Amino acid sequence: MSLPIAEFSQVILDSVADGVFTVDREWRITSFNRAAERITGIPRDEALGRPCCEVFHASICETACALRETMQSGRPIVNKSIYIVNARGERMPVSISTALLKDAHGNVLGGVETFRDLSTEVALRRELAGQRGFADIVGQSPAMRRIFDLLPRIAESDSTVLIEGESGTGKELVARAIHSLSRRRKKPLVSVSCVTLPDTLLASELFGYVAGAFTDARRDKPGRFARAEGGTIFLDEIGDISPAMQAQLLRVIQEKEYEPLGATKPVKADVRVIAATNKDLKSLVEQGAFREDLYYRLNVVTLKLPPLRERREDIPLLVEHFIQRFNRLNGRDIRGLSEEAMRILMQHEYPGNVRQLENALEHAFVLCTGDRILPEHLPPDFRREGQPPALPTSGTLAEVERARILDALKRHGGSVAAAASELGIHRTTLWRKLKRYGAQD
């Protein structure tokens, strides 16, 4: 015996795992499936006929209702992350999608919204963060736990993020974690190092150009902002850009638009900006070297990554993480470090932070022929016997770092590349440090 169409439709809706409800043109709920009852805690009989805002109490009901936007524009919304308040008064993360509800003749009868409970997913992410790390970021120290706790909340918003920290602390890893947790995760994450390109090339790289913009511009070339459309752009070393480039970036962040080189009209940009710097931007603003208005646009949400010397309790976890990685990459079976080798790693100052530790262990993998890393397998800069007696181990952090840098340069015959490799930092970082300490020839 076949069911009536309306009853058959309800049976289908009740078999769907996601919550589904429909509204008429007066925003009153006309259908409400079983999953919607389970997620909200509100029985179908109580939901039917009521305005949807009275049932859901969503974070967007008053200001940015997705269903209203769809019914006004005709455009569906897909997988938008919001919060609702259930019947117990609990705040629940959900992902919603909306569409128009039409009859057979194309007349709009109302709207339909589906929603998925994200509570388990969010709880799992937080649980993982509370264990040993988050994404590829490893740590259990209080400083890193605080960051792990903040990441899901930061990812939920679309606000600009500024990540501060020394070179090698993992700023790009944090940017990737934020993107992977955000509603933009299905769109690209595009990274740009602002320190490696001069202004003209950086502008072209970021904003692209149109055919005929200059002699060799035979066709349009989309920039990094265009490639990141709908996703996230990560601007590394933002503190090194010129005032002219600062003005262009301010326009993108403030007006959500930019002009490709040679274009006659602006292009809209739906891109989240995450910037990173190893400099003190606030000090640069006070010195007049960085625009104050851009600083405040970037500084909506700020994350400060601690240097490795301030979270030494994470070193054993990082060592285990890198040993597992290099074992996989090299087909090796190194079990760990000797007590003396671990003690050396724990006491090192790490001017190059996590990147320097990773480089030291990669160096050790090359020299180690057994199943355990010994002190002699570590780079010379890590071994006490490799340090000259005059090298200071006390004084200010800047004094110790300066002495280590000059010592590495001396032992490598002045080769910046070799010294930077030993210290675990990039050559441009070493040049900046030399300039800061007045140690350039």
Can you give the three-state secondary structure of the chain, one letter per residue?
A: CCCCHHHHHHHHHHCCCCEEEEEECCCEEEEECHHHHHHHCCCHHHHCCCEHHHHHCCCCCCCCCHHHHHHHHCCCEEEEEEEEECCCCCEEEEEEEEEEEECCCCCEEEEEEEEEECHHHHHHHHHHHHHCEECCEECCCHHHHHHHHHHHHHHHCCCCEEEECCCCCCHHHHHHHHHHHCCCCCCCEEEEECCCCCHHHHHHHHHCECCCCCCCCCCCECCHHHHCCCCEEEEECHHHCCHHHHHHHHHHHHHCEECCECCCCCEECCCEEEEEECCCHHHHHHCCCCCHHHHHHHCCEEEECCCHHHCHHHHHHHHHHHHHHHHHHHCCCCCEECHHHHHHHHHCCCCCHHHHHHHHHHHHHHHCCCCEECHHHCCHHHCHHHCCCCCCCCCCHHHHHHHHHHHHHHHCCCCHHHHHHHHCCCHHHHHHHHHHCCCCC
Classify domain 310-436 at the CATH topology level.
Helicase, Ruva Protein; domain 3 (1.10.8)
The full set of domain ranges for the chain reads 5-117, 122-304, 310-436
Each of the 441 residues of the chain gets a pLDDT tens digit; together they read 454 555 666 777 777 778 899 999 888 999 999 988 988 888 988 989 998 888 877 766 766 788 888 888 888 888 887 778 777 777 778 888 899 988 888 888 899 999 888 776 655 455 444 445 565 688 888 889 899 889 988 998 899 999 999 999 999 999 999 999 899 999 999 999 888 778 778 888 898 877 765 667 677 888 899 999 999 999 999 999 988 899 999 999 999 998 888 777 888 999 999 999 999 999 999 999 999 999 999 999 999 999 999 998 899 989 988 998 898 888 888 988 998 899 899 989 899 999 999 999 999 999 998 889 999 999 988 875 434 444 454 456 567 678 778 877 877 667 787 777 667 677 777 887 887 777 665
| pLDDT for residue 253 | 93
The yes/no answer on whether domain 122-304 falls in CATH 3.40.50.300 is yes
The reported pTM is 0.59
Classify domain 5-117 at the CATH topology level.
Beta-Lactamase (3.30.450)
